[in-house]
């Protein structure tokens, strides 16, 4: 049986290799399987949980759509839409926030990381962010949610919210309890400057990530400057245990080449990092440059991107408003 897929990406700029390998590459494979119904959402309501410059946000929304298309998602097979245009998301998030418990949200590690030491100054939206994410997923009866490893806890919360609602309102299976789809290997791509930190859009140093809009020189330069250690390339998986940078770079190589980690290790075993880096840069250029070129081309035709968002909006809005109507009835509105 086919799966009902839902996933979202925040339009906060700098979409990078982590987003691609952790999530978008998986979206494309799911989209290519004709049995699946896929919905991919540009989650701009999530983006504003930290202040976004309005002009930049508008542009980043288009850039995210362009990235979906350039990576190979087919808008005729999948719904691509923008979260803020479908009012049901915010409204459902409110209703679900009356079902979710403070105790559950207090455990969310992403909030703790993002809010930092001074939680009093974090926005309420940043705190309740996973409830909105649950609304996104549950409105479409998604059965599977492809995400990177960092979203696993949010998905568990979504499952708890679905079950609690079904229980409280005595409606078995009204909300489908979704399964996460997280790659078994390489589901967390790390910074090129620190193998213990996640590759991230918000990291100040651009050298820490490969952006999907980077050109060839950017990629060559970033790989040349990527942090390594002073030992030769490892010969066994065990050796990677405390060599975070080597592990990450080999993981990226494996993921892009489709080779197992074992095969990649044996290909470079005992060699210098510089030799490995040449091959890594080459495969990155091969895979990323066509995407980068296509993103830039698509961004020159905003009318086309707008048309895709508008088609997606109609389809998504039909599904979501229908579900919201049923939620209203159940709740007693
Ligand atoms: P975001 O940019 O936070 O909207 O993330 C979009 C998708 O990319 C989510 O499914 C994330 O889990 C995934 N993702 C973000 N950063 C990474 C990373 N460094 N490694 C793997 N997946 C990631
Ligand atoms: N929180 C996700 C992230 O930062 C983005 C997101 C929002 C999402 N709504 C979603 C992912 C629904 C999957 C399903 O990456």
256: Cβ–Cβ under 8 A, 6 or more apart, which residues?
21, 283, 284, 287
Residue 13 shares a structural domain with residue 118: yes
Residue 169 shares a structural domain with residue 27: yes
Residue 141 shares a structural domain with residue 236: no
Question: Of the residues 133, 148, 150, which should be mutated to test ligand 2's pocket, given the most ligand atoms within 8 Å of the CB?
Answer: 133
- Please work out whether the CB of residue 41 comes within 6 Å of at least one atom of ligand 1: no
Tell which atom from ligand 1 comes closest to the C-alpha of 43: 4
Count of Cβ atoms closer than 10 Å to residue 186 Cβ: 22
Q: What is d(CA 63, CA 54) in angstroms, rounded to the nearest whole number?
A: 14
- Please work out whether the CB of residue 201 comes within 6 Å of at least one atom of ligand 1: yes
CATH number of the domain that residue 316 is part of:
3.40.50.620
Percentage above 70 pLDDT, the chain: 100
Q: Is residue 200 part of a domain?
A: no
Catalytic residues, by residue number, are 114, 198, 201
Residue 32 shares a structural domain with residue 65: yes
For the chain, which residues score pLDDT lower than 70?
Answer: none
Residue 143 shares a structural domain with residue 291: no
Structural domain range at position 268:
206-297
Q: Is residue 197 part of a domain?
A: no
Supply the pLDDT for residue 184. Answer: 85
CB 187 within 8 A of CB 149: yes
The H or E element containing residue 327 is helix 302-331
Residue 103 shares a structural domain with residue 223: no
Beta-sheet strands, E only, within the chain: 4-9, 37-42, 78-82, 144-146, 179-181
Smallest Cα–Cα separation from 67: which of 281, 314, 305? 305
- Please work out whether the CB of residue 27 comes within 6 Å of at least one atom of ligand 2: no
Q: Tell me the longest C-alpha to C-alpha distance in the chain.
A: 68
Residue 146's beta-bridge partner residues? 181
Supply the pLDDT for residue 187. Answer: 87
What single string gives the DSSP state of each residue in 95-151? HHHTTS-HHHHHT-HHHHHHH-S-GGGS-HHHHHHHHHHHHHHHTTT-SEEE--GGG
Domain count along the chain: 2
Residue 307 shares a structural domain with residue 167: yes
Smallest Cα–Cα separation from 104: which of 150, 164, 160? 160
Q: What is the DSSP letter of 6?
A: E
Owner of token pair 């049986």: 1
Q: What is d(CA 310, CA 75) in angstroms, rounded to the nearest whole number?
A: 11
- 325 CA to centre of ligand 1 in angstroms: 32
CB 299 within 8 A of CB 68: no
- 150 CA to centre of ligand 1 in angstroms: 7
Long-range contacts of 290-295 (CB under 8 A, 24+ apart): 291/20, 291/67, 291/70, 291/71, 291/212, 292/70, 292/212, 292/213, 292/214, 292/215, 294/66, 294/69, 294/70, 295/63, 295/66, 295/67, 295/70, 295/212, 295/213
Supply the pLDDT for residue 186. Answer: 84
Q: Is residue 192 part of a domain?
A: no
Strand duo 78-82 + 144-146: pairing: unpaired
- 272 CA to centre of ligand 1 in angstroms: 30
CATH number of the domain that residue 216 is part of:
1.10.240.10
Question: Of the residues 46, 49, 150, which should be mutated to test ligand 1's pocket, given the most ligand atoms within 8 Å of the CB?
Answer: 150
Q: What is d(CA 21, CA 161) in angstroms, rounded to the nearest whole number?
A: 28
Q: Is residue 193 part of a domain?
A: no
Q: Is residue 199 part of a domain?
A: no
Q: What is d(CA 184, CA 22) in angstroms, rounded to the nearest whole number?
A: 10
Give, using CA atoms, the residue closest to atom 3 of ligand 2: 9
Residue 308 shares a structural domain with residue 172: yes
Q: Is residue 71 part of a domain?
A: yes
Question: Of the residues 151, 158, 181, which should be mutated to test ligand 2's pocket, given the most ligand atoms within 8 Å of the CB?
Answer: 151
Q: What is d(CA 103, CA 266) in angstroms, rounded to the nearest whole number?
A: 47
Supply the pLDDT for residue 52. Answer: 97
Residue 222 shares a structural domain with residue 139: no
């Amino acid at each position: 049986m086919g799966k009902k897929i839902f996933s979202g990406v925040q339009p906060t700029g700098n979409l990078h290799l982590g987003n691609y390998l952790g999530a978008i590459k998986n979206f494309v494979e799911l989209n290519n399987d004709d049995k699946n119904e896929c919905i991919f959402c540009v989650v701009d309501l999530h983006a504003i949980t930290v202040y976004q410059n309005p002009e930049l946000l508008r542009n980043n929304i288009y850039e995210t759509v362009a990235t979906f298309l350039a990576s190979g998602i087919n808008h005729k097979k999948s719904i691509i839409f923008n979260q803020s245009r479908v009012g049901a998301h915010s409204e459902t998030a409110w209703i679900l926030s009356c079902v979710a418990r403070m105790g559950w949200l207090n455990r969310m590690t992403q909030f703790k990381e993002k809010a930092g030491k001074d939680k009093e100054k974090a926005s309420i939206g940043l705190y309740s962010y996973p409830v909105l994410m649950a609304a996104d997923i549950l409105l479409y009866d998604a059965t599977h949610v492809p995400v990177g490893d960092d979203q696993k806890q949010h998905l568990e919360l979504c499952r708890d919210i679905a079950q609690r609602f079904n229980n409280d309102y005595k409606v078995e299976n009204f909300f489908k309890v979704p399964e996460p789809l997280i790659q078994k290997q390489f589901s967390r791509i790390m910074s090129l400057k620190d193998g213990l930190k996640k590759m991230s859009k918000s990291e100040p140093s651009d050298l820490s990530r490969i952006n999907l809009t980077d050109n060839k020189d950017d990629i060559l330069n970033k790989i040349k400057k990527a942090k390594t250690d002073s030992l030769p390339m490892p010969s066994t998986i065990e050796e990677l245990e405390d060599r975070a940078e080597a592990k990450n770079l080999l993981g990226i190589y494996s993921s892009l080449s489709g080779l197992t980690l074992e095969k990649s290790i044996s290909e470079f075993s005992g060699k210098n990092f510089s030799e490995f880096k040449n091959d890594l840069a080459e495969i990155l250029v091969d895979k990323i440059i066509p995407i980068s070129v296509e993103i830039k081309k698509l961004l020159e035709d905003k009318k086309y991107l707008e048309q895709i968002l508008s088609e997606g909006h109609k389809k998504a809005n039909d599904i979501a408003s229908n579900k919201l109507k049923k939620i209203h009835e159940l709740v007693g509105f």
